[in-house]
Amino acid sequence: MHAFELSRDHQEFRASVAAFARERVAPFAHEWDRAHAFPLDAVREMGELGLFGLTTPEHLGGSGGDLTSLCVAIEEIGRVDQSLGITLEAAVGLGIAPLLRYGTAEQQERWVPDLAAGRALAAFGLTEPGAGSDAGATRTRAVLDGGEWVLDGAKQFITNSGTAITSLVTVTTRTGERPDGSPEISAVLVPAGTPGLTVGPAYDKLGWHASDTHPLTLEACRVPEENLLGVRGRGYAQFLATLDEGRVAIAALAVGCLQACLDAALVQAREREVGGAPIGRRQAVAFQVADLEAWTTTARVLTHRAAAMVDAGRPAAEVKQAAATAKLVATEHAVAATRVATQLLGGYGFMEEHPVARFYRDAKVLEVGEGTSEVQRLVLARGLGLPVDW
């Protein structure tokens, strides 16, 4: 078997998820997109299929699978609906993963089983109006008072934070100051419905219309001291470690977008005729489709490589480089692919009835979320030993 070829089990799993996506997602994706409707029933079906529990240990209600399995699932869901694909990616990569990696046994037992079953969703509150990748700019604060953390601040662009089944938001927050004057950043678990936690109106987004994204406000929001996640003062470092795997999963979502564009372009090249012959006979069209194939294959191999490195327990520094490479290449190719596919479809590609138009809108944020393309280049340059700063 080739180093990055999927195992038979992974291939069979891919086929089952692809069938679900074709039958239970694809027919409704356009409707969800137009209505800006979060597909709660589909999310619950995905939970019943075990997709949210893929990387969760069996004793917490999951299947004890690997990151490669999650990437396969995200790719196949994202191949028909990027909104549902990001819902899965964020729920597992940002919602469940920090609890599995840093949570206490009590925290895991309280929250993870429902999350793994798709009965609940968790979000991660990192980004603020003036802070994202820059930890020092975090303004949300938490102070201890009588055995409770009291949080005040604001978060924005938080996926899965306002659904009917959202149970938890993990918030990065200042909990003090280090000796050198830099902020001490920690992570605190804030249950949905906690007094003082306000979920703002859903954003009117360019794409990902059927995913759930809200701003959050915390005002004198009190949670127990034991809701600290992991080590005090290590919240941002914990998030960065979690983010490496999340970037691999985002790359998988981009692969789904690429494959969808290739699928649409092939149909057009074979069936659309000009002068009595399929347009695929024309070199200009054939070369564009060939580019889509090359981009899709490249992105998929890089994504599977990075996932395999995580699954094999390779050193964190190697995983970071592989994850950044996969995310950078896959997402930038995905954006380019939607432009090529839309061009090949001509007027049809400009019509909202065609999935390519939706993918065109959805793709851009792939270069932004969980670390922009510029951040990925920064990670790669630093990994090569270059003394680059912001």
Q: Is 5 a catalytic residue?
A: no
Q: Tokens 């920090």: give the residue.
A: 98
Distance CA 248, CA 184 (A): 28
Which of 45, 89, 370, 374 does the annotation list as catalytic? 370
Catalytic positions are 370
